[in-house]
Amino acid sequence: MNTLDDFLKGHPSAADLKAVIAAVASACVGISRVVSAGAIAGNLGSAGQMNVQAEEQKQLDVITNDMLSDSLRKCPPVAGFASEELDTIEATGRQGGFLVTFDPLDGSSNIDVNVSVGTIFSVLPAPPDKLLEERDFLLPGRRQVAAGYAIYGPQTMLVLTLMDGVHGFTLSASGEWLLTHERVSIPKDTKEFAINMSNQRHWAEPIRTYVDGCLAGKTGERGKDFNMRWVASMVADVHRIMMRGGVFMYPWDKREPDRPGKLRLMYEGNPMALLIEQAGGEAINGREDILDVQPSALHERVAVVLGSANEVKLVRNLSSV
């Protein structure tokens, strides 16, 4: 069975980009071990501080952020990186190469109850021949050159794209990433949707209409029954879609009308949207492709609807009425 090293050696991408992927993958091996140690290592629970998102940090948020940051600092093609857990960017002092944005431990609210969590990352081109600034990271998602996530669950998997489809690697007992899922393809149709139903009263009308249609089942206009799934860990919900189809929604809601959505465009929305599109699905913020959104801030939020193409198209059509 091919390893990630074999896959990268045979891939036509530039050597520098492959070095960045290898650095992230290596950090994820270490993160998997730290996460699996859990209470044994005494690293569960709160870190006693808030991050830039005004959210309580878990100890593992801080630990995994440091691990990934250290790996990227040591990677020569990385000019700088930005994390959901950090206030601003960190420049390495090198010019050219690549920028990396990441969520070191997505779904950290689930850490203490032993539910799947993960790492999400995005790779962007760095500007040549200049000192790095925060605005250099503010590129639309279509400028990404690679993206991926690691999911730490019953098996640890790394799912990534180098702009030629999506491939999945499973972590072996010896610590190697083995290619187990080639050319992942998301079915265009589905009977599963994932959304936090407790927020239903706050949604905009198109989302309520779509979900009502799913809930009506065979007796409604859709003419088929749907199952609802919700893990509250984006990595876990998206991974399910990658493996068998479905639609994941984290929409705008009226409690904070001036905020476009809950999830972060640079650390969650863009990399997941790229993976979904590369696997044959679609990803929108309600009306517009997420990958076409021009970021205006490093920690910008975005509404997310992604997954099986025909379901996302239906939400888009409802939103354009």
* Rounded Cα gap, residues 271 and 52, in angstroms: 20
Cα angle vertex 27, ends 164, 118, to 5°? 70
Question: Does one domain contain both 247 and 167?
Answer: no
Domain boundary among 181, 211, 231: 181
* Rounded Cα gap, residues 258 and 150, in angstroms: 32
Q: Which domain holds residue 204?
A: 192-319
Q: Say if 282 falls within a structural domain.
A: yes
Q: Say if 119 falls within a structural domain.
A: yes
> Interhelix angle for 309-319 vs 205-216, to 10°?
130
Domain boundary among 138, 161, 181: 181
Question: Does one domain contain both 279 and 208?
Answer: yes
CB-side exposure of 9: number of CA atoms within 13 Å? 5
Question: Does one domain contain both 200 and 172?
Answer: no
pTM over 0.75, yes/no:
yes
Task: Tell the burial category of 33 from Cβ atoms under 10 Å away from its Cβ (0-12, 13-18, 19+).
Answer: middle
Question: Does one domain contain both 109 and 154?
Answer: yes
Question: Does one domain contain both 106 and 174?
Answer: yes
Q: Say if 186 falls within a structural domain.
A: no
Domain count, the chain: 2
Question: Does one domain contain both 8 and 125?
Answer: yes
Question: Does one domain contain both 307 and 257?
Answer: yes
Q: Output the domain CATH number for residue 10.
A: 3.30.540.10
Q: Say if 54 falls within a structural domain.
A: yes
Question: Does one domain contain both 36 and 131?
Answer: yes
Sign of CA dihedral 29, 30, 33, 35: negative
Question: Does one domain contain both 117 and 53?
Answer: yes
Q: Output the domain CATH number for residue 225.
A: 3.40.190.80
How far is Cα of residue 52 from the mean position of the Cα atoms in its chain? 18
Q: Say if 164 falls within a structural domain.
A: yes
* Rounded Cα gap, residues 255 and 31, in angstroms: 35
Domain boundary among 152, 181, 210: 181
Sequential pLDDT tens for the chain (321 residues)? 799 999 999 999 999 999 999 999 999 999 999 999 876 656 665 555 656 565 666 788 899 999 999 999 999 999 999 999 999 999 999 999 999 999 999 987 787 788 899 999 999 999 998 889 999 999 999 999 999 999 999 999 999 999 999 999 999 999 999 999 999 999 999 999 999 999 999 999 999 999 999 999 999 999 999 999 999 999 999 999 999 999 999 999 999 999 999 999 999 999 999 999 999 999 999 989 999 999 999 999 999 999 999 999 999 999 885
- Structure-token match 């492959």, residue found: 18
255: left (phi over 0), alpha (psi -120 to 50) or beta: alpha
Question: Does one domain contain both 244 and 167?
Answer: no
Question: Does one domain contain both 166 and 37?
Answer: yes
